[in-house]
């Protein structure tokens, strides 16, 4: 249940694991803090407003900062700026966002990243891709091209969403927030408040649910989303989206092809001005969330864990919490899900990743510029 802590069972003895050479360098001279008997937390590096991370095959780490820097954390723990990133529209919730590798990165060196751009009507998220040239100093993104844009651009600097995930089917999935405009989540003439599904070059798969409608509508995989900040596939190949709700009512949804999740017509939360929103159970034609959080946790990111460092957690989902300043573990069973543990953290958690060493890696994102930290969670040392 929420708030419980995992205790070591009788006879528990962590086995030694071999870490990537880069990871061994990372933890040199870093402070380590024990978190009860569940894990130890090691500070690795500091950043300004970090947002997302992606491990390279050699164990090095790409990290985005919202102001517009893509950083490559080298083996000695030094972050170097990767050149070739386009200018971003930084402000509010906008800036440089997610970063993921193409499934065939070893062959094509393609990196996908999202950011906010300004344009006619205001701003909107985009997803671009480029080739990461690691043989240059500094590393460089070349052949950068935008393959997707939020439409339409609108005023304001909130609810971009713009998380990215490649599915086991090889397609590219993007979460697109409704930009704090409510109704666009139900408007099929735009892609705000949607999950979109694309080929890796940004074109539309022919079997998308609305492909025959053409235009931006053809991109849509699901609709009725608010501010989807987590996007991940479980071990069964099912897609889950994690959404920040209105006043409370944060949601974890199992995403189904062509399904409507109801926002802003229904929500288990209410508007910030106190205006009530009908709950999901009043409109059964809309898909209801698998989990709703009241009070809110302010979710930021979603990961399904499969590493060896914490074998008892394989298959669990981990959620980064912002206002809750917590790492939250959720278990899933088919279409069902439930929170089972919550670990308080010293700062807001912006992103969660599994490293090549099987450790859990967290990006902390405090309100001050110097609160951003990369930390690594490992099993506690054997007494």
The pLDDT value given to residue 76? 72
What is the CATH architecture of 55-304?
Answer: 6 Propeller (2.120)
Check whether 153 has a pLDDT greater than 90: yes
Percent of the chain with pLDDT over 70: 90
Mind listing the pLDDT tens digit for each residue in 67-107? 999 999 986 778 999 999 999 999 999 999 999 999 999 99
8 pLDDT above the threshold of 90: no
Lowest model confidence (mean pLDDT) among 8-22, 104-118, 204-218 = 8-22
Q: What pLDDT is recorded for position 26?
A: 37
C-alpha to C-alpha distance for 252 and 354, rounded to whole angstroms: 20
How large is the average pLDDT for residues 41-69? 96
Give residues with Cβ within 8 angstroms of 262, minimum separation 6.
224, 280, 283, 286, 287, 288
pLDDT score at 122: 98
Question: Would you say residue 19 has pLDDT above 90?
Answer: no
Catalytic pick among 102, 159, 162, 225:
159
Domain segments of the chain as ranges: 55-304
pLDDT in tens, 230-256: 999 999 999 999 999 999 999 999 999
CA torsion sign for 362, 363, 366, 368 is positive
Q: What is the pLDDT of residue 20?
A: 35
Q: What is the pLDDT of residue 295?
A: 95
| pLDDT given for residue 31 in this prediction | 41
CA dist 322 and 363 (Å) reads 11
Known catalytic residue: 159? Answer: yes
State residue 370's pLDDT score: 74
In which residue are the tokens 């402070």 written? 31
pLDDT bracket for residue 27 (50, 70, 90): very low
Nearest to 144 by CA among 120, 161, 127: 127
Residue range 169-198, pLDDT digits in tens: 999 999 999 999 999 999 999 999 999 999
Q: Edge-to-edge strands of the sheet including 32-35?
A: 32-35, 39-47, 372-378, 360-364, 349-354
Backbone angles phi, psi at 185, to 5 degrees: -65, -20
Percent of the chain surpassing pLDDT 90: 86
CA 317 to CA 309: how far, in whole Å? 15
- Residues in CB range of 100: below 8 A, 6 or more apart: 54, 111, 112, 113, 164, 165, 166
What is the pLDDT at residue 152?
98
pLDDT at 2: 30
Residue 111 has pLDDT above 80, yes or no: yes
Q: Which residue has the higher pLDDT, 1 or 357?
A: 357
Model pLDDT, residue 383: 64
Mean pLDDT of 132-153: 97
As given in the structure block, the two tokens for residue 33 are: 């803090």
| Residue 21 pLDDT | 30
pLDDT given at position 353: 98
* Helix (DSSP H) and strand (DSSP E) numbers for the chain: 2, 25
Q: Residue 126: name the closest of 59, 176, 92 by CA.
A: 176
Can you give the length of the chain in residues?
383
> Out of 107-111, 264-268, 355-359, 365-369, which region has the weakest mean confidence (pLDDT)?
365-369
Give the pair of three-digit tokens for residue 189.
């003439």
Q: What is the pLDDT of residue 12?
A: 20
- For the cut 90, the answer to whether the pLDDT of residue 161 exceeds it is yes
Candidates 113, 178, 193, 98; CA nearest to 146 is: 113
Is the CA virtual torsion 135, 69, 43, 2 positive or negative?
A: negative
Reading the block at residue 200, the tokens are 């890796």
Of the listed ranges 24-38, 77-91, 296-310, 364-378, the least confidently predicted one is 24-38
The mean pLDDT value of the chain amounts to 90
In this structure, the strands spanning 194-198 and 250-254 are unpaired
pTM of the model: 0.91
């Amino acid at each position: 249940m929420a708030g419980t802590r995992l205790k070591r069972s009788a006879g528990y003895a962590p086995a030694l694991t071999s870490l990537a050479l880069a990871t061994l360098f990372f933890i040199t001279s870093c402070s380590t803090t024990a978190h009860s008997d569940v894990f130890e937390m090691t500070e690795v590096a500091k950043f300004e407003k970090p947002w997302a991370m992606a491990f390279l095959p050699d164990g090095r780490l790409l990290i985005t900062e919202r102001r517009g820097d893509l950083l490559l954390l080298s083996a000695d723990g030094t972050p170097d700026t990767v050149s070739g990133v386009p200018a971003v529209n930084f402000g509010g919730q906008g800036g440089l966002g997610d970063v993921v590798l193409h499934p065939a990165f070893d062959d094509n060196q393609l990196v996908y990243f999202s950011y906010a751009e300004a344009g006619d009507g205001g701003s909107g998220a985009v997803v671009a891709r480029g080739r990461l040239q690691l043989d240059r100093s500094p590393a460089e993104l070349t052949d950068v091209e935008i393959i997707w844009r939020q439409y339409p651009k609108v005023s304001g600097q909130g609810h971009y969403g713009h998380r990215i995930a490649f599915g086991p089917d090889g397609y590219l999935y993007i979460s697109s927030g409704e930009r704090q405009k409510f109704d666009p989540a139900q408007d099929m003439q735009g892609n705000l408040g949607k999950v979109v599904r694309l080929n890796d070059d940004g074109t539309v798969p022919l079997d998308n649910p609305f492909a025959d409608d053409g235009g931006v509508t053809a991109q849509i995989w699901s609709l009725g989303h608010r501010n989807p900040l987590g996007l991940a596939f479980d071990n069964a190949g099912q897609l889950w989206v994690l959404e920040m709700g209105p006043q409370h009512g944060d949601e974890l949804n199992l995403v189904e092809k062509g399904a409507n999740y109801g926002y802003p017509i229904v929500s288990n939360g209410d508007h910030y001005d106190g205006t009530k929103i009908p709950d999901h159970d009043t409109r059964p034609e809309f898909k209801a969330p698998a989990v709703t959080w009241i009070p809110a946790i302010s979710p930021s990111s979603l990961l399904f864990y499969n590493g060896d460092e914490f074998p008892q957690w394989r298959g669990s989902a981990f959620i980064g919490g912002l206002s809750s300043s917590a790492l939250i573990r959720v278990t899933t069973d088919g279409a069902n899900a439930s929170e089972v543990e919550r670990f308080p953290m010293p700062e807001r958690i912006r992103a969660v990743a599994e490293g090549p060493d099987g450790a859990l890696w967290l990006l902390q994102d405090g309100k001050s510029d110097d609160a951003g930290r990369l930390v690594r969670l490992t099993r506690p040392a054997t007494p």
